[in-house]
Structure 1
Amino acid sequence: MIKPEIPKNESVRLKALKNLGIVDSKAEKEFDDLASLAAYICDVPIALISFLEEERQWFKSTIGINFCDTTREVSFCAHAINQPQELMIVEDARKDPRFAKNPLTLSTEQPVIFYAGMPLTDKNGNSLGTLCVIDHQPRILNDRQKIALKTITNQVINLLEIRSKNNNLKAIEKELRLRNELLKDFAGVVSHDMKMPLTNMIITADILKEKYSNQLDDKGKEYLQYMKQSSFSLSDYISKILTYYESDKLSDQKHNESFDIHHLLEEIVDLFNIQEDCDINFPDENIELNCNRVALEQILLNLIGNSLKYNDKKKIEISINCHQDDSFYYFTVTDNGMGIPENKQKEIFKLFSTVTQLDRNGNKGNGIGLSTVKKLIMNLGGDIEVNSNVGEKTSFSFSIKKSNE
C-alpha cells in the first residue's frame, strides 16, 4: 500500500474545509440525492460524498455503507484530491500498487475493488473531498458515465457554495439581531435617562418666565420659549425612536382583541384635541375588527397626525376608509394636504428619511413616524403604499392580516 501524498496547499485546503463548516454536519437530502444519482448512473452499489480532514476521511453522504468515516491514510479519495480537476479511476484495486494491500481492498465483507472519484474543488482550487462511486468487483465506466459523474460533482460543488452562503447569511442575521437588541436596550436607557433632564428644562423655562417676567425683555422671553420648544421637540424625537425599536413587541399577535373601527377612531381624534377647521370622515361601515388594537392605533395615530401636520389648506379634510375580505383588513387615510413629491414617495418609509418641506407649524419632521408605521404593518403581515399629488392630496393605503384565532 502506498500512502497518499499531502497536497502542496494542505494548510490552505484544511482552512477552507474548516470555514465551510460541513464536517460532522447532519445528513441533508440534497446531497444524498446526488450521491444516489451517481450510484444509479454508474450502476454501482456504493456512492459517497467525502471530505478529507488532517487525519480523517468523513462522509457527508453514504449510499451502500453504514459507517461515516475512515482514516485518511487508507483513503482512496486522499489520492484523488491530488489531481483537483481530474477524475481518478481505479478499475481493479488489487492490481494497483497504491491499493493492492490497502485494508479496504483486502476487506472480506465489502472490498473496494473498483473506485472512481471526482474531486470537490472550490473556486480557489482547494480540493476538499470527492464524489466517488465504488464496487466490490472490477468495472469500467463508459464515456457517458464519466461525463455524468463530473456533472453531478459540479452540482455537489454548487450545493456547497449555496450552503456556505446560507450559513454566512445566518451568521450575519444572528449578528444583526444581537446588535438590534443591544440598540433597543441602548435606546431604552438613553430615552429614560434623557427624558427627566428634558422635563426639568421645560419646567425651568416656565419658572424663569413666570418668576422673572418683569426683568426679561422680549428677546429673553423668546429664548426661553425657544428652549422650551426645543426640549419638547427632542422629547418627542426620543419617544418616537423608542416606539420604533419597541414596534416588534407592539405588533405581537398575542395582543389581538375585538373592537369596532369607529370607536377606535373616536378615541384617536380626541387625543389630537384639534383646534383647526377640520373634517374627519369615518368609514361608512362600522366594521368589527379582530387584530392588534394597540399596533393599529399607533399606525393610525401617525398617519392621521401627518394629515393634520402636513396640511396647508384653511380647512383640513381627512377621509378614512376600511373594508375587509377573508384574509385581510384594508385601510386608507386620505387628506387634502401638501402632498409628497413623486421622487420622495419611495424614501419616506426609510428610518430618518424626511421630505424637505416644513409642516403646518414650520417644523421639520424627524423621519421616524412612517418608518415605524411600515415596520408595524409588515410585522402584522400586511403592506403599505402611498399615492400623492403635490398641493392636492396624499393617500396612504395599508393592509393588516386577520388573526388566525
Structure 2
Amino acid sequence: MLRPAVPSNEERRLEAIKKLDILDSLPEETYDSITVLASQICKTPIALISILDSNRNWFKSKVGTDVPQSDREISFCGHAILKPENLFEVPNTLTDERFKDNPLTFSENGGVRFYAGVPIKDDDGYAIGTLCVLDTKEHHLDESQKVALKALAKQVELLFEYRKKNKSLEKMKDQLDENNRVLREFASTVSHDLKMPLANMILTADVLKAKYSSKLDQEGVNYLTYLKHSGLTLSDYINGLLDHYSSGNINSEKPQEFFLNDMLEDIIDLLQIDQNCEINLPDNNLRIEGNSAALGQIFMNLISNSLKYNNSDKIVIEIDCTENREFFNFTISDNGIGIPKDKQKYIFDLFTIIADKDRQGKKGHGIGLSTVKKLVESLGGNIRISSEEGQGTLFEFSIKRPE
C-alpha cells in the first residue's frame, strides 16, 4: 500500500477547510441529492462527498454506506486531491500497486474494487475534498459519466462557496446587531438620564422668572425665556430619541380590534391644534385588527409634521384608508410646504431635517420620520412619499393584516 503524499500547500489547504466550517456538520439535502445523482449516473452503489482533514477523510454526504469517515492514510481521496484539476480513477484496486493491499480494498463489508473521484476546490483553488463514486467490483466510467461527475463536483464547489458567503453574512449581521444593541442602550440610557436634569432646568427657569422678573431688565427676562425654550427643545429631542429606539419593541403587543376614526380623533385631541386647520377623516370608520399603539404613533408623527411644516393660512389634512386581503393601506396628504426632491431620498434617514424651521420657528430634530419607517416595517408594510415644494406632501403606507 502506498500512503497518499501530503500536498505542498497543506497548511493553507487545512486553513481553507477551517474557514469553511463544515466538518462534523449535519446532513443537508442539497449535498445528499448530489451524491444520489452521482451514484445513479455512474451506476455505482456508493457515492461520497468527502473532506480531507489533517488525519481523517470525513464524509459530508454518503450514499450506500453508513461509515462516517476513514483514516486519511488509507483514503483513496488523499491520492485524488494531489492533482486538483484531474479526475482520479482506479478501475480495479487489486491490480493497482497503491491499493492492492489497502485495508479498504479488503473491508469486511465488501472491499473497494473501483474508485473515481473529482477534487473539490474552494474559490482559492485549494483541493479540500472530493466527490467520489465507489464499487465492490471492477468498473469503468464512460466519457459521459466522467463529464457528469465533474459537473456535479462543480455544484458542490458552488455550495461550499455559498456556505462561506452565508457564514460571512451571518457574522456581519451578528456584529451589526450587537453594535445596534449597544447603540440603542447607550442612546436610551443617555436620553433617560438627561430627562430629569432638563426638567429641573426648565422648572428653575420658570421659578426664577416668576420670583425675580421684577428685579431683572428685559434682556435678563429674555435670557430666562430663551433658557426655558432651549430646555423644551432639547426635551423634545430626547423624547424623540427614546421613541425611535423603543419603536422596535412596540410591535410585541398582541393584535387588537379598533376603529380607525376613533383612534384618529383621540390623536387630534391630544395634539390640541390651535391653528386654522381642517382634518378630513376617512368616510368609512374602518375596523382594524392590529397594533393600535404602533399605528397611533405613526399617525401622530405624520399629522404633527403636516401641522408643523405648513405655511398656509388654512391647514388642510386629508386621511384615507382602504383594505385588501393582505394589507391595510393608508394615505395622509397636506397642503404644506412640501419636500425638496433632493431630500426625498433621505427623508426617512435618522436626523434628516425637512426644513430649517417649522411653522413655529423651531428647528426639527430629524427623528420622527425615521421612527415612522421603523414602525411601518415592523408591522410588515412599507411607506413612500410624493411631494412638490409649495404644493404639499402625500405619504402612503401599509401594514400587514394579522394572519
Q: TM-score, normalised by structure 1?
A: 0.96
Checking the alignment, whether the CA contact within 8 Å between 1:262 and 1:282 is kept in structure 2 is yes
- Greater CA drift, 72-81 or 178-187: 178-187
Tell me how far apart the structure 2 counterparts of residues 352 and 85 of structure 1 sit (CA, whole Å): 55
Match of 2:171 in 1: 171
1:333-352 equivalences in 2 (<5 Å): 333-352=332-351
Match of 2:117 in 1: 117
Assess if the C-alpha contact under 8 Å between 1:50 and 1:129 holds in 2. yes
Other-structure match for 2:126:
126
Q: For the Cα contact (< 8 Å) 1:333–1:397, is it kept in 2?
A: yes
1:233 aligns with 2:230: no
Instruction: Identify the residue that residue 43 of structure 1 maps to in structure 2.
Output: 43
Kindly report which structure 2 residues correspond to 1:336-375, keeping only aligned pairs within 5 A, or say none.
336-375=335-374
Which stretch of the first structure deviates more once superposed, 293-302 or 361-370?
361-370
**Shift of residue 87, structure 1, vs aligned partner:** 1.1
Name the SS of the counterpart of 1:4 in structure 2: coil
- In structure 2, the residue corresponding to 1:311 is in which secondary structure? coil
Q: Deviations over 1:113-154 (max 9, x none)?
A: 111111111121211111111111112212221121111111
CA distance in 1: counterparts of 2:183 and 2:211, whole angstroms: 41
Match of 2:162?
Answer: 162
Q: Compute the displacement of 1:344 (Å).
A: 1.9
Q: Give the equivalent residue in structure 2 for 1:197.
A: 197
The answer to whether the 8 Å contact 1:94/1:100 transfers is: yes
Aligned counterpart, 1:34:
34
- Say whether residues 1:188 and 2:226 are aligned partners: no
Runs of 4+ in 1 over 4 A off after TM superposition: none
SS of the residue corresponding to residue 99 of structure 1 reads: coil
| Paired residues for 1:2-401 under 5 Å | 2-252=2-252, 254-401=253-400
Letter in 2 for 1:342: K
Q: 1:85–1:121: 8 Å Cα contact kept in structure 2?
A: no
Contact 2:123-2:161 at 8 Å conserved across structures: no
The question of whether the paired residues in 1 share the 8 Å contact of 2:120 and 2:157 is answered with: yes
Aligned-partner residue type, residue 339 of structure 1: G
Amino acid corresponding to residue 349 of structure 2 in structure 1: K
The separation in 1 between residues aligned to 2:363 and 2:50, in whole angstroms, is: 62
The answer as to whether partners of 1:255 and 1:293 remain within 8 angstroms in 2 is no
CA contact (8 A) 1:119 1:128 kept: yes
* DSSP 3-state at the match of 1:251: helix
- Shift in Å at residue 356 of structure 1? 4.3
> Matched residue pairs, number?
403
Instruction: Name the SS for the 2:306 alignment partner.
Output: helix
Runs of at least 5 residues in structure 2 that lack an aligned partner in the other structure: none
1:10-62 deviations in whole A, cap 9, x for unaligned? 11111110111111111111111111111111111111000011111110000
- Aligned partner of residue 200 in structure 1, secondary structure: helix
| Equivalent AA in structure 2 for residue 49 of structure 1 | I
The 1-side partners of 2:33 and 2:350 are apart by: 45
1:322-363, CA deviations, whole angstroms, 9 ceiling, x for partnerless residues? 222222211111100000122322211122222344211222
Percentage of matched positions with identical amino acids: 48
Secondary structure of 2:302's counterpart equals: helix
SS at match of 2:313: coil
Say whether the 8 Å CA contact 1:48–1:133 is kept in structure 2.
yes
Q: Following the alignment from structure 2 to structure 1, what is the Cα–Cα distance between the partners of residues 309 and 223?
A: 26
CA–CA separation in structure 1 for the residues paired with 2:220 and 2:90: 96
